[in-house]
Amino acid sequence: MTAYANEYPITHPFYVPDKGQFKSSTAYTHYNVKMKSTAAKRLYGNPKADVITEDIELGITDKLVFIGGYYHGAYDYKGLVDDNFKDKYWYLGLEQKFVDDGKTFFSGSFDYCQDNDDRADKLSKYFDLSLTYGKKLDWADPYISGDYTNSLNNGSNNDGFGCVKVGVYKQINDKLGFNAGVGYFLYTDVSKEKYCGGQVDLRYAFTEKAALALGYSFQLSDSQHKINEISHKTKSLDGFLPI
């Protein structure tokens, strides 16, 4: 991250650049998914994936922020479904800080996303809505966020994805922060798949303008008995990468 704004450190989930300030977040994630059901193991094996993301934020005013990003994922399935494919997308949008007074934080964002999956016949187009609300308390900073994505393609059959996440951030010292959360995920297409996941990470700020985060994500339950793909919508979940 290359920025410094308001009273939040750059490791904080409430951190959003002010006017004229810029934030860049680069992430690499490796997934090694362990299927728990016999049927899932036979069908998919133990899928692996390597994902690289780049997200940017630029303050237009102290309340309005331009957002954008790029995602590239390489997937490997080694079961009865033997498949290697790549998925990539970019998005552009705006984020608005409705309340940001040092005690309460409330923001919302809207973006347009264009996805290019190797397996698809044509480009997929989406819109994404996100809301985040949190409080700065003495013991820690709890927050809740919601994210909804839906297809703009004709005949998409309501191809959407929603998530509600509850998390808490704790500033341990001047440089180190701890973030943890759980989320509930639901697909609104014909599959109606839903699952719960969790995530923890440590965030270390080398300076006021540079930080590193190391995290771990896990799945708690799944309506499809662990037969699900890695979700491609990760950018608005503050590092929460579901499997």
- Spell out where the chain has E strands: 22-32, 48-59, 64-78, 82-100, 104-117, 124-135, 141-151, 160-171, 176-187, 194-207, 210-222
Classify residue 174: in a domain, yes or no: yes
Classify residue 12: in a domain, yes or no: no
Classify residue 1: in a domain, yes or no: no
Classify residue 3: in a domain, yes or no: no
Domain that holds residue 60: 22-237
Classify residue 2: in a domain, yes or no: no
Does the pTM surpass 0.85? The reply is no
Classify residue 10: in a domain, yes or no: no
232: domain CATH number is 2.40.128.130
What's the domain count of the chain? 1
Classify residue 125: in a domain, yes or no: yes
Please report, in tens digits, the pLDDT of each residue of the chain (243 residues total).
Answer: 444 445 788 899 999 998 999 999 999 888 887 777 777 777 777 788 999 999 999 999 999 999 999 999 998 888 766 778 888 999 999 999 999 988 999 999 999 999 887 776 667 889 999 999 999 999 999 999 999 998 888 665 567 889 999 999 999 998 999 999 999 998 877 767 888 999 999 999 988 888 999 988 888 877 655 444 444 444 433 333 333
d(CA 230, CA 232) in angstroms, rounded, equals: 6
